[in-house]
Chains A and B, each alone.
Chain A
Amino acid sequence: QKEVEQDPGPLSVPEGAIVSLNCTYSNSAFQYFMWYRQYSRKGPELLMYTYSSGNKEDGRFTAQVDKSSKYISLFIRDSQPSDSATYLCAMIRAAGNKLTFGGGTRVLVKP
C-alpha cells in the first residue's frame, strides 16, 4: 500500500466551479503538507504549504489538513481554464528531508 493515496482523475469541471482535491496518508509521522501544481511538460511548482491541522487560504486556494483522519484537501474557488493541470500532494516527516508525493490528480477546467 502506498504511503500517500491520491485519486488520479481526470476531474473535469466547468469554469467557475469549485475544484475539490484530496489525499489520504497512512503514516502519522507526516507533519508538513504541501500542494504542488504541475503543468504539462513542466516541473511541479509549490502552491500551498501548511504544518498544522486546520485551514489555510491563499487567494482562490484553500488547503485543509485533518491530522486525526490523515486526510488533506485542496479547494480551488472560481476555477479558470488556466487551473487545468495535475495537482500533487506532498508531505514530510518531522525533522525529515524527503518529500513523499501522491500520484497526482489531473484537473480539466472547461470554458
Chain B
Amino acid sequence: EAQVTQNPRYLITVTGKKLTVTCSQNMNHEYMSWYRQDPGLGLRQIYYSMNVEVTDKGDVPEGYKVSRKEKRNFPLILESPSPNQTSLYFCASSLSGGPANTGELFFGEGSRLTVL
C-alpha cells in the first residue's frame, strides 16, 4: 500500500530534550516536506526537499533541522524543543518536480507533539 509513515504519532516531551520525528514514504517520490498545523493558522511549511541531499527552508524553519540522505526518508529534528513547538506535524511527499505538477501532496497521518 502506498503510504507516508510518521513516527511517533504522539509524543510528550520536556523543554530542551532533543527529539526526532521520522518520515518514510514507499512511493519513490523525490519531493518531501514537513508541515505544522496549528488552530487558526492552518498548515505551514517547515522544510522541504526536492531530492536526496537537497533541502530548503519553508515558512517557519526556526528551531527545526532536516536531512535527506535517502530518497525514502526525511526526518524532522528538534534539537532543543520549546513549548511553542507544541503542534500537529505532517510529513508529505510528491512526485518529481514537486506539488506544482499535479497539485497532489500525499500526507502522513500526523504526529502530535507536546513540549512541556
Interface residues on A, range: 20 to 34
- Asked if residues A97 and B48 are in contact (CB atoms below 8 Å), the reply is yes
A46:B42 contact, CB within 8 angstroms: no
Q: Are B107 and A43 in contact (CB under 8 A)?
A: yes
Contact present for A103 and B40 (CB under 8 Å): yes
Contact A32 B103 (CB under 8 A): yes
Contacts of A34 in B (CB 8 A): 103-104
Cβ of A42 under 8 Å from chain B: yes
Contact with A along B55-88 (1 / 0, CB 8 A): 0001100000000000000000000000000000
Interface residues of B in 42-61 (CB under 8 A from A): 42-45, 48, 50, 58-59
- Also in contact, A99 and B109, with CB within 8 A (given A32-B103, A92-B100): no
User: Count of chain B residues with Cβ under 8 Å from any Cβ of A?
Assistant: 26
* Contact of A43 (CB < 8 Å), options: B40, B59, B90, B102: B90
Name B100's closest neighbour in chain A (CB-CB).
Answer: A92
Chain B: interface secondary structure?
A: loop
Return chain A residues, CB-CB under 8 Å to B59.
98
Do residues B109 and A101 form an inter-chain contact, with CB atoms below 8 A? no
* A49-B110 contact given A88-B42, A97-B98, CB 8 Å threshold: no
Contact of A92 among B58, B92, B99, B110 (CB under 8 A): B99
Taken together as a complex, chains A and B put the C-alpha atoms of A50 and B104 apart, in Å, by 11
Interface status of A96 (Cβ within 8 A of chain B): yes
Query: Contact between A49 and B103 (Cβ–Cβ < 8 Å)?
Result: yes
A53 vs chain B, min Cβ distance (A): 16
| Structural contact, A88 and B43, CB atoms closer than 8 A | yes
Q: Is A43 in contact with B31, judged by CB distance below 8 angstroms?
A: no
18 A-B residue contacts at CB 8 Å?
A: A34-B103, A34-B104, A42-B110, A43-B92, A43-B107, A44-B107, A46-B104, A92-B103, A94-B100, A97-B50, A97-B100, A98-B59, A99-B45, A99-B99, A99-B105, A101-B42, A103-B40, A103-B41
